[in-house]
Amino acid sequence: MDVTDDFGPFDGRTWINCSHQGPLPRVAVEAAQDAVNMKITPHRMARSEVFTEVPLRLRETLGQLVGVHPDDIILGNSASYGLNVLANGVRWRDGDEILLVSEDFPATIFPWLPLRERGVRLRFIKPEGPRLDPTELESQITPATRLFCVTWVHSFTGYAIDETAIAQVCRRHNVMCVLNVSQGLGYRQMKPAEIGVDAISSCGFKWLCGPYGTGFCWIRPELRDTLVYTQGYWLANLTANDLRGDFAYEIRSDLGARAYDLFCTANFLNFMPWTKSVEFLLKCGIEKIEVHNHALASRLIDNVDRDRFEIHSPTGGPARSSIVVLRHRGEGQTKRCFEVLKDQAIDVSLRKGSLRASPHLYNTERDIDRLVDVLNAFGR
């Protein structure tokens, strides 16, 4: 895969840090410019159809990405948004319990915290190994458990859970299964309706290469229909065209997922480019991107000096992702190493005391070799 001309320029830097921010492909930059032009000369926004076309096209693209009907996509601005829709929408009963995983990414935990005030108990599972085993989940479910929420690919460890087995455990016990898929979607196949989870939520600004402030969620329609509707939004119920004549101040009964969209759903500056980004990924092919990313991660794992660096993310098997987590064996050296990389114009993250490299479709073998060269020369 060679898409280097479709991204950048990167100011001469090597960005191996997609799990922090994914860059916009050029087609998305052009779409962002179109959105800016519309606002410079607002007569271009006078055609009221653009307010419906922009979200419609994004829904179609995201629906294709995760294999669900576009009408079932809820548009938001983050992973947190979708999880909050659920936290606020489920009809909780006193004594209900939510299971979470300790040390999960904060975005997967915080949406549920306010529910403690509403009589919902939160219980944290501490996995024995580096990722939660489905049997551990099963052993923790009680008759009070209503929902389980976990991150698909862990931001700090690079481990992916066995989403199919986890979903099966939840189904067996009639527990809602919710996944934060932010660190996997864009290079791993995720078909939530097929594997039987109840909801997924994702940000759009990492592996989906959208602008910051994008996200979406999918909630199984049968579950969505049971949620409390709390957020009356005029443009979900009316169009700007309706204002030209008489209209009713009434909530439509056929809103479906749109009832839960973030307000100002025709978010031109963000959604026009994001649509182009996801279309671009789909054109490249998610499976091909996974193979590409996998090869780059392997190149790093295979070539870094293991006498000096230990790998904390999985080095093989289905738990592997495009996130490689490594740490220098010397006391305090990992942080120094991070600084040296930055000075050498190579960007990775420092998370929980480890380096996190996360290559995506725009990265090349040369990028990985540059990273390996600096790592292997470090402290010599």
Q: Which is nearer to ligand PLP, 14 or 151 (CB)?
A: 151
Q: Which is nearer to ligand PLP, 357 or 372 (CB)?
A: 357
Q: Which is nearer to ligand PLP, 38 or 181 (CB)?
A: 181
Rounded Cα distance, 201 and 9, in Å: 30
Cis ω for the linkage preceding 23 (within 30 of 0): no
CB of 309 to ligand PLP, least distance (A): 23
Rounded Cα distance, 358 and 267, in Å: 28
Q: Which is nearer to ligand PLP, 18 or 141 (CB)?
A: 18
Residue 284: CB partners within 8 Å, gap ≥ 6? 1, 3, 361
Rounded to the nearest 10 degrees, what angle do helices 286-303 and 268-284 cross at?
80
Q: What distance lies between CA 229 and its chain's CA centroid?
A: 24
For β-strands 199-203 and 215-219, DSSP reports them as antiparallel
Q: Which is nearer to ligand PLP, 183 or 277 (CB)?
A: 183
Which pair of structure tokens corresponds to residue 47?
Answer: 């055609």
Please count the residues of the chain: 380
CB of 149 to ligand PLP, least distance (A): 11
Q: Which residues of the shown chain bind ligand PLP in the complex (CB under 6 A)?
A: 78-80, 105, 107, 151, 155, 180, 182-183, 203, 215
CB of 206 to ligand PLP, least distance (A): 7
CB of 212 to ligand PLP, least distance (A): 9
Which pair of structure tokens corresponds to residue 217?
Answer: 């969620």
Which pair of structure tokens corresponds to residue 17?
Answer: 């840090």
Q: Could you tell me if 26 and 9 are in contact, meaning their C-beta atoms sit under 8 angstroms apart?
A: no
Q: Which is nearer to ligand PLP, 48 or 231 (CB)?
A: 231
Q: What is the CA radius of gyration of the chain?
A: 22
Q: For 324, how many CA atoms within 13 A lie in the half-sphere containing its CB?
A: 27
CB of 282 to ligand PLP, least distance (A): 21
CB of 351 to ligand PLP, least distance (A): 9
